[in-house]
Amino acid sequence: MTRPLFREDPALLTFGATVTEVRERAVALDATAFYPEGGGQNGDAGRLRWDGGEVRVRDTRKGEGGVVWHELEDAGPEVGTPVTGEVNAARRWRNSGRHSGEHLLAQAFHRISPAFGVAAVSMRNPESTLDLHGDPSEADVRAAETLLRETLARTPLTLDTPTVPSAELHRYPLRREAKVEGDVRLVIFRDPEGVPFDVSACGGTHVPHAAMAAPVVVLRTERIRGGLTRVSFMAGEEAAQYLGGVYAESRALAQDFSIPVERLPERVAALTEERATLKGETATLRQRLAHTLVRQVPAREVGGVPLREVTLDDVALLPLVLTDVPRDEVVAALAPGGRCGVGSAREDVPAGTLLGRALEAAGGKGGGRPALAQGTTLEPEAFLEAVRGALLASRWAGQEA
């Protein structure tokens, strides 16, 4: 078993220990300040040094019987070697900030509604996640975020990590029931009067002051399997860096528009409205263009059927052309990339059937309804001729196809 120095003194980043077991590029120590991966939190990294050598610790994981395994970048020391361990401080504080941010944000949701219980968490990346029951709305999310922001700004919350017998857990206002027996480590953030803001059973590392996890920023929410809502958030320095980057980009964008940053939403709303107007006008113009393209091509009788053949330079016009067929006529259209189709205003000439027979000759695949069918041909130069051939061979004029 490895003595967990990371629990006894969370601020301890340098320590002495002895190698007790060795595996390929991994060692176990009799004591360690390296936190092993668990509870949604990454394991620590750092270095091990000994007389005559040193090696980088890439990750730290739990093993059987309370043993902590230190995964090494290269060959490590032998059993019995005294070593000095150095935990990567930046990684530890990032992980601790994420974990504390998760506890604090979960408590904020709990205070908005106890129905918003935690189902799962992950703090393995700067963008961490909290999976909640209860289907919180966007208003609930903003309320929780605001509650936490105001709490951290006005109330100094400090960390307390007592270990208590499971029989005494009823004395603590746990946010989640702790389903463990024996001694339980609690993570408590208290105000100056000793009143807890959040109490959770947890073995992870945390920042000594809740304000060090600020800001805690909700990025987005999404519905996931099991009826849960996944809340993506960032905390601490990573959140501050993210917000700083967003502000810098917003300021640059505002300068391009010659407006202050606070007027960006107004400008975006105006551009969105303008875009919708232009999109509608473009659609109208495209429809008019399709109408003109169809009617500028004279219809000719093929097997008793008036046929118009249209060649397009814009594939987006294809469905518009095929839905603007003159009465009692058929339109065959060819667009870039071998895209093709048939539109029919005749009950006796189903577009899908005609297209299928044309593609049998020209090569390709497609299908559709009696009034409109689209596909792709392998031989574009032969498609229109194949349509004419299908009309002549079938003698559809005045008959059921």
Q: For the whole model, what pTM was predicted?
A: 0.75
Tokens 């559709």 map to which residue? 368
Is residue 400 over pLDDT 50?
A: no
H-helix segments, 113-137: none
Q: Is residue 119 located within the same domain as residue 208? A: yes
CATH code, 369: 3.10.310.40
Longest dimension (CA), the chain: 99
66, 111, 213 from 193: Cα distances, Å: 36, 20, 21
For 170-220, what is each residue's pLDDT tens digit?
Answer: 999 999 988 788 999 999 999 999 999 999 999 999 999 999 999 999 999
Q: Is residue 104 located within the same domain as residue 74? A: no
Q: Is residue 136 located within the same domain as residue 165? A: yes
Domain with 106 in it: 93-244
Cβ atoms of residues 166 and 179 within 8 Å: no
User: In the listed set 29, 52, 87, which residue is the last one of a domain according to the structure?
Assistant: 87
Is residue 119 a part of any domain in this protein? yes
Is residue 41 a part of any domain in this protein? yes
CATH code, 215: 3.30.980.10
For 231-264, what is each residue's pLDDT tens digit?
Answer: 999 999 999 999 999 999 999 999 999 999 999 9
Question: Hey, what are 334's tokens?
Answer: 């060819």
Beta bridge partners of 187: 200
Q: How far apart are CA 177 and CA 199, in angstroms?
A: 10
Tokens 């930046």 map to which residue? 90
Q: Which pLDDT belongs to residue 7?
A: 87
Q: Is residue 129 located within the same domain as residue 223? A: yes
Q: Is residue 232 located within the same domain as residue 97? A: yes
Q: How far apart are CA 350 and CA 353, in angstroms?
A: 5
Is residue 255 a part of any domain in this protein? no
Q: Is residue 45 located within the same domain as residue 97? A: no
Q: Is residue 202 located within the same domain as residue 306? A: no
Q: How far apart are CA 89 and CA 11, in angstroms?
A: 9
If we measure between CA atoms, which residue out of 153, 145, 154, 183 comes closest to residue 166?
183
Q: Which pLDDT belongs to residue 318?
A: 97
Q: Which pLDDT belongs to residue 398?
A: 42
CB atoms within 10 A of CB 184: 20
Q: Per the structure, how many domains does the chain have? A: 3
